[in-house]
Structure 1
Amino acid sequence: MPLIELMLVLATVIGVADGNTIRFKDEAGQTKTVKLACINTPKGTKQQYVSAAAKKLKQLLPPSSRVVIRSVNLDDRGQTLGEVYVDNRSVNLRLVEEGNAVVDRESLEFCDETKTQFLIAEANAKNKRLGLWQQFNQGR
């Protein structure tokens, strides 16, 4: 089996666990979890941004959505890290573009082909004060 086939998983979304983790069922019917690679979403202290990221992910990936997951690595807990695509568009990148996530510099190496797109998307969201970037620019 070619390596590229091992990296791509055709899947059906079961649900969203949080702003950067989804549960899915693969073609073999196995239920799995994927953490969105190359991005970070806000954690508990900024509740409005945490819920905004999860809400956006639920809009983009409602249950039964068909997706392609490009598996890039495993995290330290053995959970799959991946980039999720709907209609040939990266959901990971879309969350950054809309200010619901920031680029995770530590895992950005796994998104080598799209690294520049992620960094440009973050800069644009920051400049436009979208989503979580609003909190850093409220005094202006």
Structure 2
Amino acid sequence: MKNNGNFKNAGSSRAKTWRNILLILGAVALIASYIADIRDPHPGMETQDNRPFVEQALKDGFQTLHARVTRVADGDTVYIKDDEGKEARVRLLGIDAPESKQAYGVQSAEHLKRNLRDAEYHVQVIYRGRDQYGRIIGKLVADGKDLNLDQVSTGNAWVYRNYLKDLQPGDKNLYLKAEDNARAKRIGLWADPNPQNPRDWRREHPRN
């Protein structure tokens, strides 16, 4: 009888140990899931929404990457971190927004921030390469919206005509038409009857 009691106690102890292990593993899985949700509460959503843009970009010979915007420098420049943790600066292709110290510069940057906030700062970057400063020159797409085009259509940036040739084939006319519409409606920076082009402002305010 004494031996049977020992066997029962040993079996009960092993069962408790396994239960504890399973509880710990369950807790670890729950914590890992919670952390993943914090990092990306809607995994894959952006890629799904942006798929038409990505497919067209690949057809046009562009590259794409998924990233999270970490900082907005101004209305046409952001800092990103990609899925591998690599950081980069992105200059928005085909547009030229007012500089930070220029008239309407703050409003332009704020408009871009609002769009990024709505997308929880997740973007698809569509690009061909980098410029002489090491910046990625590309288009930001978030929740199925071309943010470069949106900056132009809402009167928060000019079309950068010097670089129209670098746009995707289908974007050139879209961007030009968007600027014409914003100008005609006098929205955003076009509320000023004579807004200063950022290129001219930079010429008058060279960096030391």
State the TM-score bracket (shorter-chain normalisation).
0.7 to 0.9
Task: Flag the structure with higher strand content.
Answer: 1
Is the 2:156–2:188 contact (alpha carbons within 8 Å) kept by the matching residues of 1? yes
Partner of 1:28: 84
Give the Å deviation of 1:88. Answer: 1.9
TM-score by length of 2: 0.60
Give the Å deviation of 1:135. Answer: 1.0
Structure (1 or 2) with the larger CA radius of gyration? 2
Partner of 1:113: 170
Gaps spanning 5+ residues in structure 1: where? none
Is the 2:64–2:127 contact (alpha carbons within 8 Å) kept by the matching residues of 1? yes
Q: Which has the higher contact order (CA 8 A, sep 6+)?
A: 1
Gaps spanning 5+ residues in structure 2: where? 1-56, 196-208
Partner of 2:113: 58
RMSD, aligned α-carbons: 2.2
Selected match of 2:150 from 94, 110, 118: 94
Does residue 123 (structure 1) correspond to residue 168 (structure 2)? The answer is no
Is the 1:13–1:66 contact (alpha carbons within 8 Å) kept by the matching residues of 2? yes
How many residues end up aligned between the 2 structures?
135
Instruction: State the alpha-carbon separation in 2 of the partners of residues 6 and 116 from structure 1.
Output: 18
- Which residue identity does 1:34 align to in structure 2? V
Instruction: State the alpha-carbon separation in 2 of the partners of residues 106 and 76 from structure 1.
Output: 16
Give the Å deviation of 1:113. Answer: 2.2
Task: Flag the structure with higher helix content.
Answer: 2
Give the Å deviation of 1:46. Answer: 3.2
Partner of 1:85: 141
CA-to-aligned-CA distance 1:77-134 (integer Å, 9 cap, x gap): 1211000001221000000000000100111112132111000000000000011111
More off after superposition, 37-46 vs 101-110: 37-46
Q: Percent identity?
A: 33
- Which residue identity does 1:57 align to in structure 2? L
Structure 1 residues 6, 44: closer, same or farther in 2, change over 3 A?
Answer: closer
Give the Å deviation of 1:53. Answer: 0.5
